Amino acid sequence: MNEEQQKIMDYLTTHAVGRQKTIHMSELATLLGYAPNGTNNDNVRKMLTKMVMTDNIPIGTCIDGVFLITNKEEREEAYNFVKRRTKSDVIKNINFYTPE
């Protein structure tokens, strides 16, 4: 893990252990010195994805934010959330552009 990822991990282990202690992505962005919204949250999401995919860190996401997975039920909830929210699903459900 790089320094930013370690900072995220340290923060998660003290503030977001388990689904009941989910934190918003903007909280992690602020921690890292990014603006708490917009494209900078994409940077945080990329770091979290790498932490899960490469380092096998049990980080779950849900409608409320991010948390460390502590049991089978939380893992299943995080799995289902990611499974449901593919880019194609989002595009399929967004509204059309309407010029003002």
> Which two structure tokens, joined as six digits, stand for 79?
């799995």
Q: Tell me if the pTM is above 0.85.
A: no
Whether the pLDDT of residue 46 is over 80: the answer is yes
pLDDT of residue 38: 64
What is the per-residue pLDDT for 63? 87
Please give the pLDDT value at position 51. Answer: 93
Predicted local distance difference test score (pLDDT) of residue 16: 96
Burial category of 28 from C-beta neighbours within 10 Å (exposed 0-12, middle 13-18, buried 19 and up)? buried
Q: Which two tokens stand for residue 45?
A: 């999401």
Q: What is the DSSP string of 56-88?
A: ---EEEETTEEEE--SHHHHHHHHHHHHH--HH
Question: Does residue 91 have a pLDDT over 70?
Answer: no
Q: Yes or no: say if 62 and 81 are a contact pair by the CB < 8 Å rule.
A: yes
- Average of per-residue pLDDT values in the chain: 86
Specify whether the CB–CB gap between 64 and 24 falls below 8 A. Answer: yes
Largest CA distance in the chain: 48
Taking 90 as the threshold, does the pLDDT of residue 37 lie above it? Answer: no
Q: Which fold has domain 3-89?
A: Arc Repressor Mutant, subunit A (1.10.10)
